[in-house]
Amino acid sequence: MRRLLDALHDPADLADAVRDPRVSLSRHELLGRAAALARELDGARTVAVHATPGVETVVAITAALLAGVKAVPVPPDAGELERAHLLRDSGAELMLSDDPGAGGTIVPITRKRPPGDVPAEPGPDTAALVLYTSGTTGPPKGVVLSRAALAADLDALAEVWQWTADDTLVHGLPLFHVHGLVLGVLGPLRLGSRLAHTGRPTPQMYAATRGTMYFGVPTVWSRICAAPAQARELRSARLLVSGSAPLPVPVFDDLRALTGQAPIERYGMTETLITVSTRADGERRPGHVGLPVPGVETRLIDEAGGIGHLQVRGPTLFDGYLNQPPREDGWYTTGDVATIGPDGWHRIVGRASTDLIKTGGYRVGAGEVEDALLLHPAVREAAVVGIPHPDLGEQITAYVVADSVRGEELTAFVAERLAVHKRPRVVHLVGELPRNAMGKVQKAVLKHG
């Protein structure tokens, strides 16, 4: 197997290989700083990284991967209880951070150090990252990802997105999730492309930073579409990639109109990395996430009415949860509900726990109702959940951010476009929807009040 950070070792140096609004490093400078820091990690098994949005985090993660120790990214805004849980559960012996108050035993990232030799490449089955994912029934769980899984996914996406060393990736996403860290940092380091991290994913920063590829979550793309002048600055880009949550069809359409190209959508989760995607040289279909990436298989189980529970298998899957038995090989149940068309195209309906609504003997996908609501010109955002109901089992309930419209109008609007049993029985007009750091609507908050 090639080295995980393959292009970082390329003797052909690349100026400003990694940059943020304050700092720019060539490939040679990044490798030198990371190798010097890696020498201080000798003997450690697990290190935490205070994952601030900038070059410092890139250096720290690279150092941990060079040293062959597990890296645990810690959100910079983590509360005291969350940070304590991550450090205790992961057993991290050190915290890589320039903030003395970050917690744990601090090792500064940017301190000047004498040059260090690049360690030998660990085996492909060596655990590389532990990414914590929020559960609905307890504290966050550590997802263990091997070097082989990371490499397999990045190579698959390189093929699907035609991602090469000639690209410059621009994004301002957090560096403690798959989207911003694995795809947004390790991708360029493996494939040799430049990375420009904007610090924050604002329309102004994206418009001011020239690149060929831009990553964003739906909230980012929605805000860019609301700033047409900034959106038009992205017309020279080769790819606009959206993920981490479903992209509303109106935002898809607005992006296409403003930038001259439809966005790429893809699907994945922390435990599986990215398993389904639209291709750079293929169709881009609104409301759909495309086809399985090379090496990955998918299937639906418990299918009814064309909707089923999505399972995946392939080389991108995680090893298991930290401090729990290893994951068994084979099919992994994602917990998401999907449809797969005759042509193999996937549409993600949502989470089985919140987005598959069983009402009056029917199965209704929340995403289908949300898409219908978003077609109304007054509606800016919509989230649909099933609320327990004594007669129906679950009642379709919508939470809508809209201007100058009544709930009854929206119910009738959906009933005209979908089967009547799919209409929301109740519509709550709200000022905003609760979202997490990646822009995903927190439906459990809506569902449970």
Output the pLDDT for position 134. Answer: 64
Instruction: Name the token pair of 388.
Output: 């327990």
pLDDT digits (tens, 9 = 90+) for 250-259: 889 999 999 9
Other CB atoms within 10 A of residue 161 CB: 24
Q: Which of 5-9, 147-151, 326-330 shows the lowest mean pLDDT across its residues?
A: 5-9
Residue 383: per-residue pLDDT: 92
The answer to whether 338 and 307 have CB atoms below 8 angstroms apart is yes
**pLDDT for the residue numbered 421:** 84
Tell me what the mean pLDDT of segment 191-206 comes to.
96
- pLDDT (tens digit, 9 = 90+) per residue, 14-37? 778 999 999 999 999 999 999 999
pLDDT of 2 strictly over 60:
yes
DSSP string, 112-140: -----PPPPPPPTTSEEEEEEE--SSSS-
- 146: tokens are 């091997």
Residue 136 is predicted with a pLDDT of 47
Please give the biggest Cα pair distance in the chain.
Answer: 71
* Local confidence band at 441 (pLDDT 50, 70, 90 cut-offs): confident
DSSP state of 155: H
Per-residue pLDDT for 227 more than 60?
yes
Average pLDDT, the chain: 91
CA dist 175 and 166 (Å) reads 23
Reported as a single tens digit per residue, the pLDDT across 381-427 is 999 999 988 778 889 999 999 999 999 999 999 988 887 888 999 99
DSSP letter, residue 195: E
* Cross-strand pairs, 432: none
Compute the average pLDDT of residues 272-284.
97
pLDDT class of 11 with cuts at 50, 70, 90: low
Q: Under CATH, what is the fold of the domain 360-447?
A: GMP Synthetase; Chain A, domain 3 (3.30.300)
* More confident: 70 or 11: 70
> The domain 1-350: what is its CATH number?
3.40.50.12780
Question: What stretch(es) of the chain map to CATH 3.40.50.12780?
Answer: 1-350
Sign of CA dihedral 197, 203, 209, 213: positive
Geometric angle at alpha carbon 122, from 119 and 128, rounded to 5°: 110
73: closest CA among 65, 85, 61? 61
Amino acid occupying residue 343: D
Instruction: Tell me the H-state helices in 44-107.
Output: 55-67, 80-90
* Helices (H) then strands (E): counts for the chain: 13, 25
Helix, coil or strand: residue 324: coil
The predicted model gives 201-229 an average pLDDT of: 95
Span 83-90, average pLDDT:
92
Provide the pLDDT for residue 50: 97
Q: What is the pTM of this model?
A: 0.84
Q: Delimit the CATH 3.30.300.30 region(s) of the chain.
A: 360-447
Q: How far is Cα of residue 219 from the mean position of the Cα atoms in its chain? A: 12
pLDDT over 90, % of the chain: 69
Query: Which residues partner with 170 through β-bridges?
Result: 196, 214
Residue-level pLDDT at 437? 67
